[in-house]
Amino acid sequence: MSTAAPHAPGRLDRDAVTYVAGHRGLVGGAVWRHFEAEGFTRLVGRSSRELDLRDRDAVFAFFREVRPEVVVVAAAKVGGILANDTYPADFLSENLQIQVNLMDAAREQRTPRLLFLGSSCIYPKFAEQPIREDSLLTGALEPTNDAYAIAKIAGIMQVQSIRRQDDLHYISAMPTNLYGPGDNFDPKGSHVLPALIRRFHEAAEAGVPSVTCWGSGTPRREFLHVDDLARACLFLLENYDSPETINVGTGEDLTIRELAETVADVVGYTGTIEWDTSKPDGTPRKLLDVSRLEQLGWKPSVRLPDGLRSTYEWYLAHLETLRG
């Protein structure tokens, strides 16, 4: 990994054509809202029905037509432990297709600025905590989501390769675990936090005496509100220009047991919480070292209890469309 010192590329033109790939997802939706609030006047988005990002010819045709000047790659096939462990070939293949197509099309148009978003699962399972960016590729990955991680690592390498070969100032950032409005609450494909919100809500509604959660509850996790990530995306596009990926997180974590208890409290569930230790825990701890981002002058602003309450309120407001 290069250790070239970052420098500030400068304020983005609010009238630049800005394409948010995955603008209807959890991350892309937050990026769209934040950029809109910041005065961007030419935001562009396409739903998966309008543009299949796995279709290389369609992606190239879209870039030739729209000619974006700023691209945020927030589109990805995502899921929790169960989904990643069950469909590793799908997670590897589809994510590689999406990011290669987007970045190659951007290269062809010489799009000036692009931000590729990855995931903290790129780091070794037993990386030294908190995890620094230079721990990438220094150890074995967590087996339950290694296929997804390899795809994201390939995305980082593509950004670095484009910088070397084409002199285009693309960057990548690795967010920690995300949550917020627009999350996936599907019990078969969701991440831990939305899954807990749904499970405890349904348990409270049904009046069941106990809820069983996967694993031992001892792994520690860090959670970043997606609105904070959106703010970080714009900040990095305007203040960061280095081949090395950069972590985006809170620098604080808690156990899954503590998370479950907090969610139960927010939802109003008063039963007992049981733990099924026959189920996988995943990585024992995954806390990002965010000192490089802090040195640039950025910090998150949404506290976890506040973010959980607003996410639960969003869940309640959209309950009818989320059932199933």
Backbone torsions φ then ψ of 254, nearest 5 degrees: -150, 165
Check the annotation: does 248 bind a ligand: no
Q: Which amino acid belongs to residue 224?
A: L
Contact 149, 121 (CB under 8 A): yes
Check the annotation: does 221 bind a ligand: yes
Distance CA 30, CA 35 (A): 9
Check the annotation: does 323 bind a ligand: no
Query: Quick check: bond before 130 cis, omega within 30?
Result: yes
Check the annotation: does 257 bind a ligand: no
Check the annotation: does 22 bind a ligand: yes
Check the annotation: does 214 bind a ligand: yes
Contact 115, 172 (CB under 8 A): yes
Q: Which of the following is catalytic: 19, 87, 123, 148?
A: 148
Check the annotation: does 23 bind a ligand: yes
Alpha-carbon distance values, 119 to 76, 83, 136, 265 (Å): 11, 16, 12, 28
Check the annotation: does 249 bind a ligand: no
19 is catalytic: no
Check the annotation: does 119 bind a ligand: yes
Distance CA 34, CA 12 (A): 14
Residues 6+ apart with CB under 8 A from 157: none
Check the annotation: does 281 bind a ligand: yes
Distance CA 91, CA 282 (A): 17
Check the annotation: does 120 bind a ligand: yes
Q: Which amino acid belongs to residue 47?
A: S
Maximum CA extent, the chain: 60
Check the annotation: does 199 bind a ligand: yes
Check the annotation: does 117 bind a ligand: yes
Check the annotation: does 46 bind a ligand: no
Contact 169, 112 (CB under 8 A): yes
Distance CA 161, CA 243 (A): 9
Distance CA 237, CA 258 (A): 34
Check the annotation: does 80 bind a ligand: no
3-class DSSP state of 22? coil
Distance CA 253, CA 286 (A): 8
User: Would you list which residues are annotated within the binding site for NADP(+)?
Assistant: 22-28, 117-120, 152, 175-178, 191
User: Would you list which residues are annotated within the binding site?
Assistant: 22-28, 117-120, 152, 175-178, 191, 199, 214, 221, 281
User: Would you list which residues are annotated within the binding site for substrate?
Assistant: 199, 214, 221, 281
Residues catalogued as catalytic: 148
